[in-house]
Structure 1
Amino acid sequence: MKGHPLKRALLVGILGLIGGLAQADDTIRIAHIYGKTGPLASYGKQSHDGLMLGLEYATEGTMSVNGHAIEVIEKDSQLDPMLGRSLLEEAYDEDDALLAVGPLASSVAIPMLPVAREYRRILLVEPAVADTITGSRGNRYVFRTGRSASQEAVANAIALGQPGVSIATLAPDNDFGHDTLAAFRQALTGTGAAVVHQEFVPAGTANFEATAERLFAALADVAGDKVIFVNWAGAGDPLASLTAMNPNPAEIRFAANGGFLSTLAGYKAYEGLEGANYYYFEHPSNSVNDWLVEQHVARFGTPPDIFAAGGMTAGIAIVEALRRADSTDTDDLIATLEGMHFNSPKGDMLIRASDHQTLQSMYHFRLRSEAGVEWAIPELVREIPWNEIPLPEGH
């Protein structure tokens, strides 16, 4: 949208006021803004396949709700933050999208958040994880069906927090690393476990030898159960260094987040590693997940991965909100989404009204290897229900 700033502001205001009315008699247009090309294209495909499956499932194959056809408009952010922002403006303005879904990366999501507020249209974030998306940078038009970074960290604390457990942690030296480990430490309160040492290193670190030596030294004279929790998001492989250098394999065990099937393929050497994850196709036991697994295998030849489940969740949430609100007015949809329970491949979810973060189950796992399976299997220890995960507001 170009032209004089005052005219632009007036037009945005008009669009926000009449957008719902315009949609009432037309096709419901949903923009999916994601990295369709680029280094994360395979993850983008997961997300889009899942979204389409979710819309199909929730509409029982009709791809319509309340008598209105649903049209999905794909927009390729190429993982470029400014391109993602401009594509969202384009979606709301030129495409008259009722709402948008995406993107993959938090770095792309954050510049998009003010656009949703400016146009007064909903942005449903899936799967970007930065806490600030539903925290300090969020607004009333932004919702997230995916997990937050702290949600995963708190779930790991629940999985590992037992009396007498001493934990040393490793994380990148950035907002992600510090914020998630702060949530992890807070969630350990009252469990009897304690963090005895922390290491924060640059996300680009490739050599972890010195870091590993400090972690092992911190646990050397500690009695009881000893754990090194790796909360990593970077280029290197700290687990490989830790495993190779572990001076007491029988005494010191490792813990980490779960991950994609491609991540788990690299975890075959870490049998016994423990932690909590967002999704593994064999963990949830419900009819929605059964349908997702069956359809994904039939159509794509593989079990669904993390972003496929997340995309399906977003699709179901959209249809449920439209159906229950029986309206395409943005304010009506916001009122419906806030506090909405809905079913998903992971079972019951709740969109928290206070910050628009979706509360959901996580899964305590322990890795094992099995001949003929190309990845390490995250064997389920137990499902951690969302009402047992004390996620701080704004996370």
Structure 2
Amino acid sequence: MGQNITRRTVLERSGGLAAVGTAALAGCVTEDSSDDDGDPDDETIRIGAFQPTSADLQYYGQTSLQGFYGGLAYKYDDIDPIDGLDVGEYTVDPEAGPTYEIIVEDTAFDPDTAQSVAQDLVVDDEVDVLFGGTSSDSARRVIDTVVSQSDVLYLCGPAADGDITTSDEYCHERVFRASEHTAMDARSGATYVAEEMDVENVAMFGSDNSFGRGGVENYTAVFEEYDHIELQEPRYTEAGYAEFEGLLDEAVANGADAVAGVYTAVTLPSFIPTAMDYDVEIFGGFAEMLTISALGGAMQQALGEDFTAEDIEDAGLGPFTTRYHWNQFDNPINDAFVDMTIDAYDQVPDLFHSGTFTLASALAQAIDESGSTATDDLVDAMTGMTVTDTPKGENGYEFREANNQAASEMAIAYPVPTSDEWADTWEANIMPGEPVQYVSAEDAMVPEDDVGCSL
């Protein structure tokens, strides 16, 4: 593979260490991608995956990797999903495709670590593609530093803050995200709440970080379009906050008949059980199994051991938006993916699986369609791409040319007790039920006029 020493710029470590020469940044990139007439089946593409594989939220990173590995395995039916979910180097070599070398590094869900790891992957390991950014703050940091100072292709996910691809501060021609984001949650869920539920006064809660504030702002933007919805001043708390009784007392005293919390697994298991003690509707986004398991335990305490779907609905819990869960999208690709994931990891695909599957699928499709592994060619192929093979069905995701965010359909469902069919592969006593509504990709997306990014 040729080295591009004319287009890659100097990448500085940690913003203050010695500059690294451009030759050290060379990867699988030719000087002029239009001259790359080699056979990609004979090439090697190096992917640097930076995900949390330790600490409290390692499950986020592990399921993100599972989705990515599943996407590659689906595209190349002569390979199996990689079974390693820890730090290490893994190789898959499909017969009809390039050799994929995937280097996994741990971020521990920390932005500083994510930046350092991503820099090392580009500089020391000479990767051609970065994949990761589970925390939105980590994704921003990597875009600001590593991506902006190199020509690496960045497959961002599952970071969910909307402004990564809706703000001109972060969107980038080499950054592609298939994972659904908080603005899509908001446009789908808030519209359903406003139009289908008897709700008049909404109190929003969120974590005091980019994820929480971004999510609350997106819900607020949708609710403000409805004259009959009164919004209270948002309440922000630190991650891990557990003393919600006083805040909810205040919200209900001010007339709240509906509440939502934009939190991760660190906080949501405290927020929702506390909110269930009040006469309010509780809405938001379906979380992943880690959080849902904790919620299910709290619901069992509140509703009794033999609680039913009707008990859950009567308690005001739901419906929730689901970006993706294994039982929400009925199509042959998803059926195969569910079976593949159970066989490889003894669990069904979860919240993050579909977005990261789609990133891997899109990368393989770009290589096939361009006949190249050169970065410029891959970027050109992925720009505006309709991704053929996705868990949401054939052509289920489409990257918007304005910001490289993939649009996809969303579902809305109530929680229900986990059925016997899934009890062995879904370690929570509640799961998403039959969707009550699907929201089209077009309706779920932020309108182009409201997107600050224009690539």
Shared fold, TM over 0.5: yes
Match of 2:245 in 1: 209
Q: How much does 1:70 deviate?
A: 2.1
Q: Quote the Cα distance in structure 2 between the aligned partners of 1:109 and 1:47.
A: 14
Q: Quote the Cα distance in structure 1 between the aligned partners of 2:20 and 2:340.
A: 48
Q: Quote the Cα distance in structure 2 between the aligned partners of 1:356 and 1:43.
A: 23
Native 8 Å contact 2:179 2:354 kept in 1: no
Is 1:362 matched up with 2:410? yes
Paired residue secondary structure (1:334): helix
The worse-fitting range, judged by mean Cα deviation, of 75-84 and 206-215 is: 75-84
Native 8 Å contact 2:46 2:100 kept in 1: yes
Is 1:126 matched up with 2:154? no
Q: CA 1:38–1:394 in structure 2 vs 1: closer, same or farther (change >3 Å)? A: farther
Paired residue secondary structure (2:213): helix
Aligned AA for 2:242? Answer: A
Match of 1:291 in 2: 336
Match of 1:185 among 220, 226, 250: 220
Structure 1, unpaired ranges of 5+:
221-225
Match of 1:55 among 61, 68, 72: 72
Q: How much does 1:12 deviate?
A: 4.8
Match of 1:43 in 2: 60
Structure 2, unpaired ranges of 5+:
1-10, 80-92, 300-310
The worse-fitting range, judged by mean Cα deviation, of 180-189 and 6-15 is: 6-15
Q: CA 1:64–1:100 in structure 2 vs 1: closer, same or farther (change >3 Å)? A: farther
The worse-fitting range, judged by mean Cα deviation, of 18-27 and 73-82 is: 18-27
Q: Quote the Cα distance in structure 1 between the aligned partners of 2:404 and 2:438.
A: 23
The count of corresponding residues between Structure 1 and Structure 2 is 385
Runs of 4+, deviation exceeding 6 Å: 1-7, 13-16
Q: How much does 1:131 deviate?
A: 2.7
The TM-score, its normalising length taken from structure 2, stands at 0.76
The TM-score, its normalising length taken from structure 1, stands at 0.86
Q: Quote the Cα distance in structure 1 between the aligned partners of 2:66 and 2:23.
A: 37
Paired residue secondary structure (2:195): coil
Match of 1:165 among 199, 216, 219: 199
Q: Quote the Cα distance in structure 2 between the aligned partners of 1:90 and 1:179.
A: 29
Match of 1:140 among 173, 180, 192: 173
The worse-fitting range, judged by mean Cα deviation, of 13-22 and 194-203 is: 13-22
RMSD of aligned C-alpha atoms? 3.0
Match of 1:349 in 2: 397
Native 8 Å contact 2:205 2:234 kept in 1: yes
Q: CA 1:12–1:230 in structure 2 vs 1: closer, same or farther (change >3 Å)? A: closer
Paired residue secondary structure (2:146): helix
Identity of aligned residues (%): 20
Q: How much does 1:168 deviate?
A: 2.7
Aligned AA for 1:329? Answer: A
Residues 353-381 of structure 1: CA deviation (Å, up to 9, x unaligned):
11111111211111223575542232211
Match of 1:267 among 291, 295, 303: 295
Residues 237-277 of structure 1: CA deviation (Å, up to 9, x unaligned):
12222222x2xx4xx32212111123222333281221212
Residues 217-252 of structure 1: CA deviation (Å, up to 9, x unaligned):
2227xxxxx4222333453612222222x2xx4xx3
Match of 2:211 among 165, 176, 201: 176
Q: CA 1:230–1:8 in structure 2 vs 1: closer, same or farther (change >3 Å)? A: same
Aligned AA for 2:441? Answer: W
Native 8 Å contact 2:27 2:126 kept in 1: no
Q: How much does 1:279 deviate?
A: 1.4
Q: How much does 1:2 deviate?
A: 8.2
Q: How much does 1:96 deviate?
A: 3.0
Q: How much does 1:42 deviate?
A: 2.5
Q: CA 1:125–1:191 in structure 2 vs 1: closer, same or farther (change >3 Å)? A: same
Q: How much does 1:81 deviate?
A: 2.8
Q: CA 1:363–1:329 in structure 2 vs 1: closer, same or farther (change >3 Å)? A: same
Match of 1:239 among 257, 272, 280: 272
Native 8 Å contact 1:338 1:356 kept in 2: yes
Residues 87-140 of structure 1: CA deviation (Å, up to 9, x unaligned):
323333333322121132223222211312322110101111223322322322
Q: How much does 1:309 deviate?
A: 2.9
Q: CA 1:394–1:325 in structure 2 vs 1: closer, same or farther (change >3 Å)? A: farther
Q: Which has the higher contact order (CA 8 A, sep 6+)?
A: 1
Q: How much does 1:344 deviate?
A: 0.9
Match of 1:317 among 357, 362, 383: 362
Match of 1:26 among 38, 43, 66: 43
Match of 2:382 among 309, 318, 337: 337
Match of 1:255 in 2: 283
Aligned AA for 2:329? Answer: P
The worse-fitting range, judged by mean Cα deviation, of 304-313 and 357-366 is: 304-313
The worse-fitting range, judged by mean Cα deviation, of 335-344 and 263-272 is: 263-272
Q: CA 1:19–1:13 in structure 2 vs 1: closer, same or farther (change >3 Å)? A: farther
The worse-fitting range, judged by mean Cα deviation, of 235-244 and 375-384 is: 235-244
Q: Quote the Cα distance in structure 1 between the aligned partners of 2:126 and 2:221.
A: 43
Match of 2:98 in 1: 68
Is 1:276 matched up with 2:321? yes
Native 8 Å contact 2:188 2:439 kept in 1: yes
Q: Quote the Cα distance in structure 1 between the aligned partners of 2:271 and 2:342.
A: 33
Aligned AA for 1:231? Answer: V
